[in-house]
Structure formats: C-alpha cells, structure tokens
Structure 1
C-alpha cells in the first residue's frame, strides 16, 4: 500500500524539499477506461461476495433449524423461520465482501512496487505526514458534524443508512464494532478508493479528476440512491458529505505521498464520530 511510483507523482515533494519534475499527463481515454473497469469490478466483486456470504449464512441457519426439528420442518416453514441476519453477521459480511474486494483489486490491478513501498514508508516517517493526518482527521469530523447540523436546521435528518447497524452492533459487540469502524473499515476503504481508484488517475497525471471521481464512487458505495430508505433530498445531502470526506482523504494522500496518511486520518475521523455517537446516546 503506497503512492504511485515517484516518476508519476505530479508535484510531490522530495524529502530534501526539491520538486519532482511533473511529467505530461497521459491521454485521458486509457486511464479513464481503467478507472471505470476498476469501479465496475469493485461493484461486481462486492455484490458477488455479499451474496455468497448471505447464501452461506442461510444454508448454515437452515441446517441448524432442520436439526432442531429433527428434519420435520416443511420447506415453507423452514423458509419462514430463517429470519434475517443479525448485526454481527451483517458486519462480518460487509467486512468479507469489501475487505476481500479491496485486497483483490490491490493485488490484481494496483499492487505497489518495492520502490513505491520504500517511498511510502519514508514519507510515513516524516513529522509533516502526521500533522496532515491529525489536521485532516479532525477537519473531516468537524466538517461532517457541521454539515449534519446544517441539514437538521433545514428540516432534514441526514443519518447515514448504516447508522442503525452500527448502533445495534455497538450495543451487542462494542469491542468488535469499534475495531471494525476505527481500524478495519478505514484500511480496506483507503486501499480501494484512494490507492486503486484515485491512484489510477493520479499516476496518469489527472489528480484533480481522480479526486472528483474517486470521491463520487466513495459516496455512492456508502449511500446508494433509492436503496437506503432516506428521502431523495436527504440522500443527496449525505452524498455531498461523503464526497467532501473522500476528497479530503485523497488530497492528504497526494500531499503526503503515503497511503498510511489517509488511513490514519480516516481512522481518526471514525474514532471521533464513534465517540461522539456514544457520548450523545446515539
């Protein structure tokens, strides 16, 4: 997990303060098609893995029900008693589907070279990098909090569609839910949205477009219009919040030259949000 090769990092600062010569951007068609393919593969993989997890859970649940009733349940009765996965199961399904998708696309489509990894770890050892992490983590938390407050003043209830799941998971499994929200989710999301998607266009010399498109995909993966149960205006508002957050993380990645920086900022944002959620009682 690291930045694009230094020869393709537009205007990234060297450790000695010199500037890397900015190469001319590649023709947009090829990188844009590759970006679209990456996004499509991510969507297909996540959906396929989520369905596989659901069918695996349904099979396990059905076998358990059949054993409890000595196989006497009719198929219709068995289907009626299956129910829906609980909070823990849904969180694990999400972890498997998105985590595996991010890892597979990283290895298959955007694996870091040894030179990239060395450059990334060198950047991660600089004080400036962690100043960016602290500033960005606090800024995204304050920005999302301010936008949420503004939304409520406008008569909206901009609650993310995954909020109920997070609250239920924290009530039953606080340690695991905290680990998932603060550590695991930022790791796989930054690998996918910043390294794979944003990094694709950044390395091709189109960083501004990369920020815009990767942030849009980041938002759509969190709030899918028409499937969240939120009114259209609330959905648009939440999408804008996620776009802003994704843009901040992409800018941090570009200015620090290491993926560990947006990962750290994302972790800090989520930790602050989870802490505020619990402090306010939900």
Structure 2
C-alpha cells in the first residue's frame, strides 16, 4: 500500500473543511441562547446555502483525479444511477439496522440515531427546516466529504491496488462523517455503509451529482418516515 499526504489536494481539503465546520458547527453554536427558533433555523438555512455555493464554486474545476476524468454518462443516466444508489443504500441501511437491533439484544446499546431524532424534533416545530435536511445538507456533505475528503485520500493512495485505493478512503470518510452525527457508537456502521455506497457512485460515474441525488432521496425518505411514525 502506497500513501503520500502531498499527492492529494491539501488546499482544497483544508478550505472546504473550514467552510463546512464554520457553517455547520462553529457559527450556529455561537448564536445567542435567547434567539428564537425561527431566527435560528433561518440563520442555519442562510449559512448552509452560502456554504453550499462557496463549496460548489471552489470545486467547480477538477479537484482530484476522479473529477479530472471524463464521465461516460449523460445527465439523465447520472440521475438514474443516483436513484439506483438510493435504493441500494436503503436496502443496505435496512440490513445494517437489523444487525444493530439483533446485536443490541446481547450488548444493550441504543440503535436509534440521536441526530435523526433531534432533526425530527426541529422539523415538528419548523417544517421548512426540511430544506436543510433534504437538500442543502446533503449537497454540502457530498461536496465536502466526497469531493474533498474522499477525493484527497483517493489521490494520496495513487499507486495502490484499486480495491485498497477505494476501501481505505471510503472507510476514513465514513468515520469522519459519522463523528458529527452520532459520534463513536455502533450506529457508526450505518454511516460507514453510506460512505461506501456514495463513494462508489462518485468513483464510478466521475460526477458528484450522482451521490448528491442518492443522498437527497435518502435523507428525504428517512426523515419523513421518522416524522410521521413519531
């Protein structure tokens, strides 16, 4: 296995990371506690919209070896593959959730995502927050986690075997992706599974639109199901 930190686009990784962290964590957490829920949600939507445009702008040109390759699919096909990826992700998520429920009978750990529960609670108060959950959030996350993080580690492992060059970056990206959602917990396996599916879609099609479509559809379905079930 070959690995070199200097082979990846460090500048794009760092800049994307700063923008994402500021928009999702730093600025929202610095808002006054007495601010209304309406204003808080509005600010979060504005921040995420701004961050999405900036992340898209700085990644408009090829930022990694994947982006610089020509895709063999047209837009409609890319969209269709995204739908297939969404279906595959939901099937995998069902299997992984079933495994977690089974193992929880022996090891007694929670199987529900605290992150999803918190999001549903906000949606009950402010339904328009769905714009962040179903659209802006997935786009931001794919631009950062797929193009910047996965793309960086994929380039850093150039010269390695194909399966290693895909597996390790997808695993690293999945772990990093899971941390701000539910931290180090058994539920992390679901986020790692998501990372493998979305990273494969990106690598296979050479275009970020495909995992974005799958991610938007997945978030929309999961949150809506949780919303109506609860």
TM-score by length of structure 2 reads: 0.74
Q: Which residue of 1 aligns with 2:81?
A: 132
Gaps of 5+ in 1: 1-24, 59-81, 226-234
Task: Output aligned runs, 1:1-282, within 5 Å.
Answer: 28-31=4-7, 34=10, 38=13, 42=17, 46-47=21-22, 50-55=25-30, 57-58=31-32, 83=34, 86=37, 91-92=41-42, 94-95=44-45, 100=50, 104=54, 107-108=57-58, 110-113=59-62, 119=70, 123-127=73-77, 129-153=78-102, 154-155=104-105, 156-174=109-127, 176-203=128-155, 205=158, 206-225=165-184, 235=185, 237-279=186-228, 281-282=229-230
| Superposition deviation, residue 163 in structure 1 | 2.4
| Superposition deviation, residue 132 in structure 1 | 2.4
Q: Secondary structure at the match of 2:130?
A: helix
2-structure distance, mates of 1:103, 1:133: 21
**Does structure 2 conserve the Cα–Cα contact (< 8 Å) formed by 1:137 and 1:268?**
yes
2-structure distance, mates of 1:41, 1:130: 25
2-structure distance, mates of 1:26, 1:106: 30
Closer, same or farther: CA 213–124 of 1 in aligned 2, 3 Å:
farther
Query: Which structure has the higher relative contact order (CA within 8 Å, separation 6+)?
Result: 2
**Does structure 1 conserve the Cα–Cα contact (< 8 Å) formed by 2:52 and 2:139?**
no
| Superposition deviation, residue 239 in structure 1 | 0.9
2-structure distance, mates of 1:224, 1:85: 27
| Superposition deviation, residue 222 in structure 1 | 1.8
**Does structure 2 conserve the Cα–Cα contact (< 8 Å) formed by 1:102 and 1:192?**
no
CA RMSD of superposed structures (Å): 3.6
Gaps of 5+ in 2: 159-164
| Superposition deviation, residue 220 in structure 1 | 1.8
2-structure distance, mates of 1:263, 1:277: 21
| Superposition deviation, residue 30 in structure 1 | 1.2
Structure having the higher Rg: 1
TM-score by length of structure 1 reads: 0.62
